[in-house]
């Protein structure tokens, strides 16, 4: 029989009678207000900051996208959905979207796979394990501008390290900036070098929460290490994997600094815009040339909606995964 049977539930303190002293009634009233309203006061600063720095910029972007607004001349005329109509017909916008999606796929898929394998390796017993765990995150704390400059030199067309290594084994040099797919690969390699260790640590934290008894039972049943990884580790950290997919999707569609540094600081993204991303094109339209603020706001809003759609898709996958694991 449960020990809670017959237990008297806690009762709320009775309010003081009307004949009680005034200070006692005020103290009771203040105590009730504290219990009722203090939780809302504790979370108010977050919502205030979110409204000022998060929600307001988004809503203001929608407002500006409805105007033909040029920053240099200061002209501002209501245009309705004209900016969105022109955006659908803008070949350079779709070229930037194509580049963004290509760089995203080349960087995210290998990055998460390598991070998963690296985390599985760091989760084993080995010498200097703590030092190795600390070492994998060093690329992430390095300045992204410095990383971009260094990799731009490594993948330089004439005197780059990669082309020199290719020449030593008899291969012709690669035009890393003139070729679309070569430039995608170079930028993706830069992104992978910087973020693989970060995702590996996230996976490692999830792996360490898995009970060791599961691996011991699998070993007694004759399961190999590789089979344990795919049948125990991967299913149990599936929510974490989908979380990293969401974060990588958001970051991948917003990529800006790496291709900018790779292109020597030019937002054109190459002579033929072969590696210009959406963020770079938004910057080019909004803050250079005629400074088409309204058109740039329309592109920013469309990019925001694209990210939201991908995030919601991954969120649904996460919920289904969690429910499946509970069953």
Mean pLDDT of 273-288: 90
Q: Is the pLDDT of residue 296 over 80?
A: yes
> What's the pLDDT at 34?
65
> What's the pLDDT at 23?
57
**Smallest Cα–Cα separation from 292: which of 304, 281, 302, 303?**
281
> What's the pLDDT at 133?
80
Q: Is the pLDDT of residue 26 over 70?
A: no
- Higher per-residue pLDDT: 193 or 4: 193
Whole-number average pLDDT of the chain: 83
Q: Is the pLDDT of residue 214 over 60?
A: yes
> What's the pLDDT at 1?
43
Distance CA(71)–CA(172), nearest Å, equals 47
- Higher per-residue pLDDT: 327 or 112: 112
From 73-77, 88-92, 167-171, 239-243, the region with the lowest mean pLDDT = 73-77
> What's the pLDDT at 264?
84
Beta partners for residue 78, in sequence order: 67
- Higher per-residue pLDDT: 324 or 300: 300
> What's the pLDDT at 3?
45
Which residue shows structure tokens 């237990």? 7
Distance CA(96)–CA(274), nearest Å, equals 8
> What's the pLDDT at 29?
65
> What's the pLDDT at 91?
92
Distances (CA, A) of 56 to 50, 242, 311: 8, 29, 21
Taken in order 282, 286, 287, 288, is the CA torsion positive or negative? positive
> What's the pLDDT at 4?
46
Percent of the chain with pLDDT over 70: 87
Q: Is the pLDDT of residue 159 over 70?
A: yes
Q: What share of the chain is helix, strand, coil (3-state, %, to 5)?
A: 70, 0, 30
Q: Is the pLDDT of residue 20 over 60?
A: no
Contacts of 178 (CB under 8 A, 6+ apart): 157, 270, 271, 274
95-154 residue pLDDT tens: 999 999 999 989 988 999 999 999 988 888 777 777 888 888 888 888 888 888 888 889
């Amino acid at each position: 029989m449960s020990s809670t049977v017959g237990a008297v539930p806690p009762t709320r303190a009775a309010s003081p009678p009307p004949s009680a002293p005034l200070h006692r009634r005020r103290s009771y009233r203040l105590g009730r207000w504290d219990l009722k309203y203090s939780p809302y006061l504790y979370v108010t600063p977050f919502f205030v900051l979110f409204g000022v720095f998060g929600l307001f910029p988004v809503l203001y972007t929608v407002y500006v996208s409805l105007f033909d607004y040029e920053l240099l001349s200061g002209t501002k005329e209501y245009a309705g959905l004209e900016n969105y109509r022109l955006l659908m017909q803008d070949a350079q916008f779709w070229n930037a979207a194509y580049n963004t999606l290509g760089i995203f796929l080349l960087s995210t898929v290998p990055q998460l796979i390598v991070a998963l394998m690296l985390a599985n390796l760091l989760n084993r017993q080995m010498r200097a394990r703590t030092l190795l765990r600390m070492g994998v995150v060093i690329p992430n704390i390095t300045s992204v501008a410095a990383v971009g400059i260094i990799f731009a030199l490594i993948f330089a067309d004439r005197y780059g390290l990669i082309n020199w290594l290719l020449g030593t084994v008899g291969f012709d040099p690669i035009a890393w900036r003139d070729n679309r797919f070569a430039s995608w690969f170079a930028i993706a390699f830069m992104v992978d070098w910087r973020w693989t260790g970060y995702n590996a640590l996230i996976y490692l934290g999830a792996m360490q929460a898995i009970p060791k008894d599961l691996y011991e039972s699998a070993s007694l049943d004759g399961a190999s290490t590789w089979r344990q990884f795919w049948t125990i580790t991967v299913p149990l950290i599936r929510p974490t994997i989908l979380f990293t997919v969401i974060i990588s999707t958001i970051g991948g569609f917003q990529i800006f600094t790496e291709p900018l540094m790779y292109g020597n600081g030019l937002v054109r993204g190459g002579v033929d815009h072969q590696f210009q991303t959406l963020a770079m094109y938004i910057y080019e339209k909004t803050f250079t040339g005629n400074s088409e603020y309204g058109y740039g706001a329309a592109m920013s809003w469309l990019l925001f909606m694209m990210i939201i759609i991908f995030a919601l898709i991954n969120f649904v996958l996460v919920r289904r995964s969690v429910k499946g694991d509970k069953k």
